[in-house]
Structure 1
Amino acid sequence: MQIKLATALTLLPFLVSATPTSSSAESARRISLSKRSSLTKDGVVDINALHSHVANVQGKIARGFANYERNTGRMHPNYYSSALHKRSTGTVKLTDDKAQLWYGSVSVGTPSITYTVDFDTGSSDFFLPGSKCGSTCLSHKKYDTSSSSTAKDVGKTFSLAYGDGSTVSGEQFTDTVTLGGLTATKQRVGAAIEYSSGFESSEFPPDGLLGMGFQSISDYNSPPVFQTLVSQGKTSSSEFGFTMLTSGSELYIGGIDTSKFLGSLTYTPVTQEGYWQIKLGGASVGSKSVFSGSVDAIVDTGTTLLIGDSVSVKKIYERIPGSEDASSTVGDGFYTVPCNAVPSNIAMELGEKKFSISASTFNLGAVSSGSNDCVGGIIADDSVGFWILGDVFLSNVYTSFDFANARVGFAELR
């Protein structure tokens, strides 16, 4: 089944190395993240969940393009190459639900109440289920604005649509938000009146979603939480970093956690603000280069897969013995590799440095029970207009996002 961005839309109603520093207030600034995978069950891939995830990613990118045009008055440059046209630090422990999202805690309101949210660098809005939300919000903790003395209604609504038909809609408020011990005031928060089935607790365990992209792709056209913390001087550092591991995953707020990686960060500049968009310098399988020269890519913690253009992705798999096109069994853009020979020598080049992808993160699971073929975590999709560096890649590196200096840093994990 080919999932094109246009189809998803119809479902919508100088490179440098730097030596990092660490904050003295580490323990107060770590947000734990957790991971739960339901893209696979008993080692077998859930193909329908894969398709749903790809559709959601496509829909999110499409929504970002639309928000960018509305907020800036011009089309996003990559729209033209997409299918649409042809002071302190903090850490948050993370959880990855369905291998599709990483979630941890945030506190909102006065008095403050703690909620769980998906931390997504591929979007820029923050919403929670509001007190008026009905049955689709059951088992989620609700955000009751009437119980917060700092909640103010801004007189605007919002509606966010996703590629699989899921929607979230409601009212916009400003309130006090604390993330990793750092507090932002008058932060824009959406109180959802409706969650679609895709956001019911059985499908979406966190209460809400907290976007960490740039304002230009915000549906609210309002600064995201971390940017508010920086602009209000609540942190002396404009960086936040992700570590995505089987255990010990975290979001580190307002600095760099040097304990998580080896050597120094290799930074690459953001080339187009909106998404965390950078240049990917190449890809290789072992000593063989797949492509060299730079291509556009975004760094997205809200995407499980590593998504690239069809020509380059095909070349990657041509260099993997036993790989096969899986368009007839899994879906267009997917490939399989022998389960007993999953490669561990695939690398992405960023800032003239190669970062490898482990076999365990590359392998999504067997095609079916008893099958000798496993689904590769790199897929082809020409519809979005750039590469997407999702968790298949990000789980292998420490990633630092520097808002003030508009750059992304990568380093090898310890």
Structure 2
Amino acid sequence: MYSAAGIVTQNKAQLPAKVDGIMGLWYYATGSAVPILNVLRNNTLLSRNMIGIWLQSTTPNGQSGGSAGGEITFGGVDTTKFHGEITYVNCAGERPWSIPVGGITVGSTKINVNRALAAIDTGTTAMLVPRVISDAINGAIPGAIRVTTQEGRWYMPCSGDTVVTMTFGTLTFQIPYTHLALQSERSKTQQGDYCLSAVMFPSGSNVP
């Protein structure tokens, strides 16, 4: 996950003319480099070994529902940004911020995730998955079509009511349809308006 000073929306990043650098919130050392989170922890600068991230949600057309931007809290969380209790899920695997996927459903269709891990990353609005899972999720959405000339990316009707859920730990989250159909990537067809699916196979990846 990376962050930079500037305004980041669903479609683009507006950065200042001069950016001094990019700070990656990684906590595994690479070579002689020491990640910033490790520096903060080793110097007891964090009241708790955690970070809290809040991002302003957007409306279906990609515009901010309030003041643009977000917030990061080092050493804790901003309790004004959520309701209820925090549910913790242990990280798994060898990559930071990766947690087990408990399940994915599209309508009444259960997707076989085969003990997959999800990297919780604020750097993209897309859900990057192996091709077989992308095809399974998109293929279960009524009206969705696969475009073979675009590395197998999918398009779906821009409006719909298909319910997609993802389970992590003991919590199940429902993904709004308008967050699956990227409203900024819209094309008019004889069947109506179609939008690029946010569930996609990463370009250049060799994962089947």
Cα RMSD (Å): 3.0
Q: Distance in 1 between matches of 2:6 and 2:110?
A: 34
CA 1:314–1:322: 2 relative to 1, 3 Å: same
Aligned length: 191
Query: Shift in Å at residue 34 of structure 1?
Result: 3.4
Structure 1 match to 2:164: 346
Q: TM-score, normalising length from structure 1?
A: 0.41
Say if 2:205 is the partner of 1:383.
yes
Structure 1 match to 2:50: 239
Q: Distance in 2 between matches of 1:232 and 1:287?
A: 50
Q: Distance in 1 between matches of 2:42 and 2:108?
A: 45
> Percent identity between the aligned chains?
25
Instruction: State the secondary structure of the residue aligned to 2:134.
Output: helix
Amino acid at match of 1:335: W
C-alpha contact (below 8 Å) 1:33/1:249 kept by paired residues: no
Q: TM-score, normalising length from structure 2?
A: 0.77
C-alpha contact (below 8 Å) 1:214/1:273 kept by paired residues: no
C-alpha contact (below 8 Å) 1:344/1:357 kept by paired residues: no
Among candidates 126, 147, 155, match of residue 336 of structure 1? 155
Per-residue CA deviation, residues 282-313 of structure 1 (Å, 9 max, x unaligned), is: 21113432125521222222233111122222
Amino acid at match of 2:26: G
Among candidates 93, 97, 102, match of residue 272 of structure 1? 93
Unaligned runs of 5+ in 1: 1-30, 40-96, 104-115, 117-138, 141-205, 387-414
Query: Shift in Å at residue 278 of structure 1?
Result: 1.9
C-alpha contact (below 8 Å) 1:213/1:274 kept by paired residues: no
CA 1:323–1:358: 2 relative to 1, 3 Å: same
Structure 2 match to 1:34: 7
Among candidates 112, 136, 143, match of residue 291 of structure 1? 112
Q: How does 1:3-18 map to 2 (within 5 A)?
A: none
Q: Distance in 1 between matches of 2:20 and 2:176?
A: 31
CA 1:367–1:210: 2 relative to 1, 3 Å: closer
Instruction: State the secondary structure of the residue aligned to 1:284.
Output: strand
Higher helix share: 1
Among candidates 207, 215, 223, match of residue 28 of structure 2? 215
Query: Shift in Å at residue 374 of structure 1?
Result: 0.5
Instruction: State the secondary structure of the residue aligned to 1:337.
Output: strand
Instruction: State the secondary structure of the residue aligned to 2:135.
Output: helix
C-alpha contact (below 8 Å) 2:28/2:96 kept by paired residues: no
C-alpha contact (below 8 Å) 1:344/1:356 kept by paired residues: no
Q: Distance in 1 between matches of 2:172 and 2:133?
A: 17
Unaligned runs of 5+ in 2: 57-63
